[in-house]
Amino acid sequence: MSFREQLRAYIAQLEQRLRRDALLRGLAILTGSALAATLALVTLANALAFSHGSVTAARFALILVLAAAAAAGLALPLRRLTRRRAAGTAEAAFPQFQQRLTTFVERDGQDPFIELLAADTLAVAQSAQPTQMVPDRRLWISAAAGAGAFAILVWLIAAGPGFLGYGASLLWTGPHRGKPAFYDLRVTPGDAVVRRHADQLISALPAGLHSPAVKLYARFQSSSKWEETVMLPKAAGSFAGGYQFLFADLPENVEYYVTAGALTSKRFNIRVTELPAVKQIRVTYRYPAWTGMPSETEERGGDLRAVAGTVAELEVSTDRPLQGGQILLDNGQPVQLTGGLNNVYRASVKMDQDGVYHVAGVAEGQPVRVSEDFFIEARKANPPQIALVRPRADYHASPIEEVTVAAKASGDYSLTGAALHYSVNGGPETTIDLLPQKGVKQADGSATLSLEDFKLVPGDLISVYATAKDANAESRTDMMFIQADPFEREFSQSQESGGGGGGGGGGGQGNQSAQISQREKEIISQTFKQQGDKNSTQQQATDIAKLLSQSQATLRDQAISLSGRLQARELTDEVEAIGDFEKDMMAASAAMAPAAQQLQQEKWKDALPNEQKALQSLLRAEATFRQIQVAFGARGGGGGGGGGGGAARDLAALFDLELDTEKNQYETR
C-alpha cells in the first residue's frame, strides 16, 4: 500500500472518530432536550390544569424543541463533518502536523510530490492517534448522558409519580381511555329539560384541585350578557362533596358553564318546557300479611315511611294531563304511571330499602322532573319484647312452696304467641300459653308452680324462660332458675351451732361450694343465649363453643379432684353426709363430660339438659354441705380444737385448693 493510501485511511479514521463523537453528543443533546422540555412543559400545563388548549400548545412546543435539538445537535454537525473539516480538527489537536494534513487533503491527486508529503505526514501521525483526539472517555460520557436522559424520560412517561408522570404520558402518548384524568371538572346534570318555573340544581365536582374558586356563568335566552356567580360548597355532611348552585323558578332557556381554577367545562343548555305540576299524592300502605295490620291511607302524602316489605300505592294528581308519567327511583329504576282519568295517575312502589323518588314526565324524548324529591324509609321490623316480671331473678324457695311466675310481652305487630317454658332438673320442657287471643299487641300472663307436686328435694331446680313471637320474629328472655333450698330450721341450726372455730370455717366453705354451681349457671346462661342467637358468625360461634367447652371441662376436673381428695382424707368417717356430698359431685362431673363434648360440637340444644343435670347435682351438693355445717357445728362447739373442728379445717382447705381460681392448684402449704 502506498504512503498516499495509508494517509487516506488515517484521515478516514479521524473522520469516523469525529462522526461517532458528533452522533453520541447529538443524541445526548436530543434526549436531554426532550427530558428538559417535557418537565418544563408539563409544569406549565399543570398550572393550567392540563386543559385541552394547554396540552395542545405543549405538544406543539415539544415538537419544536425536538426539531431544533435534532437539527442543532445531529443534522448540522454531521452534515458539516467533511474530510477537510476532519483534517482541520486534527491539525488543531496536533500542532505538530504543521498544516501537512490540510495540504494533503487539498492537493491529493493533483501534486506529483504528494507521495513524499504523505510519507512525511505519516511519520508525524504515528504520535497523533485518533483516540487521542477523541478519547473513549468522551464517547462514554456522551453515551451515558443520552441513555440516562432517555431512561428517565421513558420511566416518567410509563410510571412517573404525580402530575409529572400524568403530564408526560399525556404529552407523549395522548389521553388514555378508561384512565381517570388528573384534573377533572364534572358538572351535573349537564344538558337538561325542566318544567317552566321549576328549580334546577347544578352540581360541580372538581377533582385534583385544592380549594379552587368555582364559578358558574349563565346566559338566559332573553339576554346576550353572561352572568357570573360563585357556586357554594355542599354541606359538610354531604357524601359526594363538591359545589352547587340552584336555578330557582326558571322562566326560560338558559346556557351555562362552570369554571374551577384553570378548568372550564363545556357549555350546557337547560331547556324550559310546559309540563303539568303535581297537586297531590295520595298514599295507601299495604302492609305485609305477617304484620296483621290493616291498610292505611295518607291523603296528602309524599314521603313513604313503613316497615320493609310494604307496598305503597300512589295516586298522583296533576293540574293537567301528564304525558309518559313515571316514578323515578334514585337507583335509576322507573315505575310507569297508569290511568289518567281526571288527571289521576297510579303506581305501586315496594319498599324494600331506603331511597328517594320523584314524579317525572316525558318531554323531547327524555324524563323531566315535575315534583320535588320524596324520601322512602323502609323501617326494619323490630322483634317483639318479652320480660319476666315475677320473679325477676333466680329465686330460692322451699321444696313445698308455690311460686308464681309472670311475664309481659309486647310488639309493634300482632303477636302470634307468648308462653312460659319450664323444665324440672333438665327434664322435658313444659309450655304454658300466655296469649289470650291472637292478633293482640300486648299480653300479660302468669302461672303458679307448686314445687311440692314436683317432689323436689333441696338442691333441685326448675329452669324458666319466656318467649314471644309474631309472624316475622321470635324473642325470649334469659333463663332463670327456681332453686329448692333446705328448710329454715337447718339454716338456723347451722347459725346457732357455728359460733366457734368449726362454725367459722364452715361459713367460708359454704361460700366456696357455691362458686362451682355459680360457674355452671353462667355456662348454662351463655349456652341458652347462643342457642337463640341467629346473628353471630360461624367464627364467633366456634370461639364461644371452644370457650364454654373448656370451662365445662375445667369444672368437671375440679369436681372429680375434690371428690378424690375427700376419699383420700377419709373425711367420710367424720360425718356421714360427706359421702352424699361426694356422690353428688361425681354425678355432676358425669353430666359435665357429655356437655363439654356437645359444646365443642356446637350442639347447644343437646348440651343444655346435661348442663342442667350437672347444676342439679351441684345444688344438691350445696344443700348437703349445709347439713355438714350443722354437723360440724354440733360436734366442734365453740372451741375449734375438737375432731369436728379439725374435719372442718380439712374440708375448708380442700375447697380453697379446688375451687379458688386465683390460686395455683399445684401449690400446697
Question: In sequence order, what DSSP letters do the residues of 639-668 get, joined into one string?
Answer: TS-SHHHHHHHHHHHHHHHHH-TTS-TT--
**What pLDDT, on the 0 to 100 scale, is given for residue 642?**
47
- For residue 505, report the phi and psi dihedrals to the nearest 5 degrees: -65, -35
Q: Position 198: which residue type?
A: A
The three cell numbers locating residue 318? 296533576
**What pLDDT, on the 0 to 100 scale, is given for residue 487?**
64
Can you give the residue range of the structural domain that contains 290?
Answer: 278-379
The last residue of a domain, from among 246, 273, 300: 273
Whether residues 308 and 450 share a domain: the answer is no
Whether residues 157 and 240 share a domain: the answer is no
Whether residues 211 and 169 share a domain: the answer is no
Residue 219 within a domain: yes
Distance, in Å, from the CA atom of 115 to the CA atom of 118, rounded to the nearest integer, reads: 5
Q: CB within 8 A of 664, min separation 6: which ones?
A: none
The last residue of a domain, from among 248, 273, 298: 273
SS3 state of residue 459:
coil
Residue 666 within a domain: no
β-bridge pairing 268-273 and 192-195? parallel
Whether residues 543 and 618 share a domain: the answer is yes
- For residue 444, report the phi and psi dihedrals to the nearest 5 degrees: -125, 140
β-bridge pairing 442-450 and 310-318? unpaired
Distance, in Å, from the CA atom of 218 to the CA atom of 227, rounded to the nearest integer, reads: 5
Q: Are 320 and 361 in contact (CB under 8 A)?
A: no
- For residue 161, report the phi and psi dihedrals to the nearest 5 degrees: -85, 155
Residue 669 within a domain: no
Residue 45 within a domain: yes
Distance, in Å, from the CA atom of 643 to the CA atom of 264, rounded to the nearest integer, reads: 102
Whether residues 477 and 493 share a domain: the answer is no
Distance, in Å, from the CA atom of 424 to the CA atom of 429, rounded to the nearest integer, reads: 8
The last residue of a domain, from among 459, 484, 509: 484
Cell 290493616 belongs to which residue?
A: 294
Whether residues 222 and 126 share a domain: the answer is no
SS3 state of residue 479:
coil
Q: Are 218 and 256 in contact (CB under 8 A)?
A: yes
Alpha helix (H) residue ranges in 160-265: 162-173
Concatenated DSSP letters of 57-79: HHHHHHHHHHHHHHIIIIIHHHH
> Which residues of the chain have a pLDDT value below 50?
237-239, 489-512, 637-643, 661-669
Distance, in Å, from the CA atom of 368 to the CA atom of 366, rounded to the nearest integer, reads: 6
Residue 95 within a domain: yes
Residue 600 within a domain: yes
What does the angle CA 39 – CA 43 – CA 46 come to, to the nearest 5 degrees? 135
Cα distance between the two ends of the chain: 116
Number of structural domains (the chain) is 5
Whether residues 346 and 217 share a domain: the answer is no
CATH number (domain holding residue 233): 2.60.40.10
**What pLDDT, on the 0 to 100 scale, is given for residue 639?**
43
Alpha helix (H) residue ranges in 71-209: 76-80, 83-93, 100-107, 114-125, 130-133, 136-159, 162-173
Distance, in Å, from the CA atom of 669 to the CA atom of 231, rounded to the nearest integer, reads: 82
Exposed/middle/buried for residue 579 (C-beta within 10 Å: 0-12, 13-18, 19+): middle
Q: Which helix (DSSP H) or strand (DSSP E) does residue 228 occupy?
A: strand 227-230
Residue 121 within a domain: yes
Q: Are 303 and 377 in contact (CB under 8 A)?
A: yes
Whether residues 597 and 519 share a domain: the answer is yes
Length of the chain: 669
**What pLDDT, on the 0 to 100 scale, is given for residue 37?**
95
pLDDT for 493-543, tens place per residue? Answer: 444 444 444 444 444 444 445 677 888 888 888 888 888 777 778 888 888
SS3 state of residue 631:
helix
**What pLDDT, on the 0 to 100 scale, is given for residue 570?**
61
Find residue 362's DSSP bridge partners: 367
pLDDT for 438-477, tens place per residue? Answer: 778 888 888 999 888 888 888 788 999 999 988 888 888 8
Whether residues 166 and 17 share a domain: the answer is yes
Whether residues 297 and 262 share a domain: the answer is no
Whether residues 375 and 439 share a domain: the answer is no
Whether residues 513 and 654 share a domain: the answer is yes
Find residue 339's DSSP bridge partners: 345
Residue 347 within a domain: yes
